[in-house]
Structure 1
Amino acid sequence: MTHPAVVVTTSWDDGHRLDPRLADLLDEHGVAATFYIAPRNIEFDAADLLPPSGVRELADRGFEIGGHTLSHQRLPLIPDAAAREEIEAGKSALEDITGGAVTSFCYPRGEYRPVHVRQAAQAGFTFARTVVRGSLGSGRPMEAATTVNAYAHRVDVPLVLRMAAGHPVKAARLYLNWEELAIHWFELCRREGGVYHLWGHSWEIDERGDWDRLKRVLAHIGGRADVRYVTNGQLSGMEAA
């Protein structure tokens, strides 16, 4: 019996000083990842930014470093020229730090317009991730969807009800516990095949006391011989689904 192909990728946004702690868990469970870093993220205090030495360490450990603009500006709220500069300057800064090419991008807060898709491609990015959830496909390379966020979204009621197939207790469990939803999505991917994409933020995991929840998910999805573990950038060569 031929089993459907299962690909697992994860991505972690913003460039926080807690990213190395998250990287340790990923390494422990054999899960690949892309860290999307805004080197001068204006939403963090300076002491909370992942320093250049930390960015280099992640890259040296085999994690992909992705662009997330220079300072995490909300692209639709700034002029197009400023958006282009943010995208290009963030990429250049990370390449200077790591000494390697940065070819994956994540739109800050998932907010963007068609012009920003073009700008990211023109800057040399070949993959760009959104914050759209609920997909098991590799999707469009410059507007890639994800599967599940390491965060409980209270707007996910319709999705959870469909996934629970009318079972109220199961629906409540999936709704209240993001780790249950993440595991449920993974099991669906194992049955049907596809790309399972988990994403989140190290600072948010810490803020909500969710490290044990994350450990449980990574222990469940990681280290499987029949699963291919890839960075986001390695998805760009896959056929759109």
Structure 2
Amino acid sequence: MKQIVKSFPGGKHKVLTMSYDDGRNADRRLVDIFNRYGVKGTFHLNSGLLGVGDRIGADEVSTVYAGHEVSAHTVTHPTIARSPKEQLVYEIMEDRKALERLTGYTVRGMSYPNGSYSKDIIDLLPHLGIAYARTVQSSKTFAMPDRLLEWNPTCHHKHDLLETAKAFDALHKRQYLYMMYVWGHSYEFDEQGNWDVIERFCEFIGGRETIWYATNIEIVDYLQAFDRLQFSAACDFVYNPSAASVWLSVDGDIVEAKGGERTWLG
């Protein structure tokens, strides 16, 4: 039987994703840096705080974050593990509704405000339309997530970011999939006067042919599309019921399984 493993789009074996919270004004500069180097980010916003203080205004959300993902962070940023379920439902669903009105697309992910969550919250999230949720616990690894509702990032940007990027860049074993997931708050660069950290990181890691640059939800959707593939018993062909393509490595050769089509695997 052929050796078949999933690959990222274009046959890549590495993915980089960035995740930033709170929607502060410094996001403008961060998005500009991401755009300059082809890096993609997910921005988790509190809809009830938009326009308050130095936060991005509601009327600017769709333009400031164009090309990136807007994701939920609850309406008012409470410590949700201490909140009643009724408040939790309100905070997440109303945040989704408001952000969806502003962006025009379905908001299906979030990051936990104050890093607060519990097993009961994890169990509830799928019923609220949430497909993934990011924690603040750094894994310090490049492993793919096995629990999307308890998605641990690789590192915060203040923890040896460039050294971590160099280690990520050096990964070459194509029988594995690797993910580097960086999180933080853009205003921290203002507070610490170290915008050069993220600038040098993006300049170093951007534009590489071996890396897929994706938002959080793009990764989730791609992994789910792979899981929906329908392989023949002999694994000599596969049917892809999804709309988007999925890439496979078949005995080392990259094969694109196009959406809605049957693809022979040699």
Question: Displacement, 1:58?
Answer: 3.2
AA aligned to 1:219 is E
What is the aligned partner in structure 2 of residue 38 from structure 1? 46
Match of 1:149 among 113, 132, 156: 156
- Which residue pairs with 1:238 in the alignment? 223
TM-score, length basis structure 2: 0.72
1:215 maps onto 2:199 in alignment:
yes
The match for 2:32 is: 24
CA offsets, 1:160-191, max 9 Å, x none? Answer: xxxxxxxxxxxxxxxxxx33443244235456
Instruction: Choose 221-230 or 46-55, whichever is displaced more.
Output: 46-55
One-letter code aligned to 2:86: A
- Distance change in 2, residues 1:122/1:26 (3 Å): same
Give the aligned CA root-mean-square deviation in angstroms: 2.3
CA distance in 1, matches of 2:136, 2:172: 22
TM-score between the two structures when normalised by the length of structure 1: 0.79
Q: 2:105 aligns with which of 100, 112, 120?
A: 100
User: Shift of the alpha carbon at 1:149?
Assistant: 0.6
- The aligned residue for residue 173 of structure 1 is none
What's the offset of the Cα at 1:126?
A: 1.2
Moved more, 66-75 or 114-123: 114-123
The equivalent of 1:194 in structure 2 is: 178
Name stretches of at least 5 consecutive residues in structure 2 with no aligned partner.
1-10, 227-266
Distance in 2 of aligned mates of 1:46 and 1:190: 45
Name the structure with the higher helix share: 1
Measured after TM superposition, the shift of residue 105 of structure 1 is 1.0
Bigger CA radius of gyration: 2
Give the SS at the match of 1:62. Answer: coil
Equivalent residues in 2 for 1:57-96, closer than 5 Å: 57-59=63-65, 61-96=66-101
CA 1:102–1:189 in 2, change beyond 3 Å: closer, same or farther?
A: farther
State the number of aligned residues: 210
Q: Identity, % of aligned pairs? A: 29
The residue number in structure 1 matching 2:119 is: 114
